[in-house]
Structure 1
Amino acid sequence: MAKDSFSLHDIVEMKKPHPCGENSWTIIRMGADIRIKCNGCGHSVMLPRREFRKKIKKVIAHAGETKEDESR
């Protein structure tokens, strides 16, 4: 199995937006299930890892990444 491209505290974009209109989420728990928190309204959702992999579109920012790291 390939290593996941996401980790704890990464900001990810999902394929479908949350009903509040925001499409970016922060990963707040990882294990067999992954809990993500909406960056718009703060609502959190827990998904099985397999379902999360299907619904993720891309990683927007990795944990600990700064604007200086992006410019390099």
Structure 2
Amino acid sequence: MKKPHACGTNRFEIIRLGMDIKLKCTGCGHIIMMPRRDFDKHLKKILEHHEN
């Protein structure tokens, strides 16, 4: 994300995709939900891809 979380980390794990995006902070474990439009606007870059 463009701005770091309040705990100081800037890494989030995507838990759920759909109309809303559910993110989990890797530092403190706080869960955030936001609309996909806002997520696309705030996303800076993808660091890791998960393989199934």
Residues 10-54 of structure 1 show CA distances to partners (whole Å, capped at 9, x for unaligned) of xxxx10000000000000001100000000000010000000000
- How many residues get paired? 51
Query: Structure 2 length as normaliser, TM-score?
Result: 0.95
> 2:38 aligned to 28, 41, 51, which one?
51
Bigger radius of gyration: 1
CA-based RMSD: 0.5
Structure of greater relative contact order (alpha carbons < 8 Å, 6+ residues apart): 1
Trace 1:1-72 onto structure 2 (pairs within 5 A). 14-64=1-51
Q: Which runs of 5+ in 1 are unaligned?
A: 1-13, 65-72
Which structure: greater strand fraction? 1
Kindly, what percent of the aligned residue pairs are identical?
Answer: 57
Q: Which runs of 5+ in 2 are unaligned?
A: none
Q: State the shift of 1:61 in Å.
A: 0.2
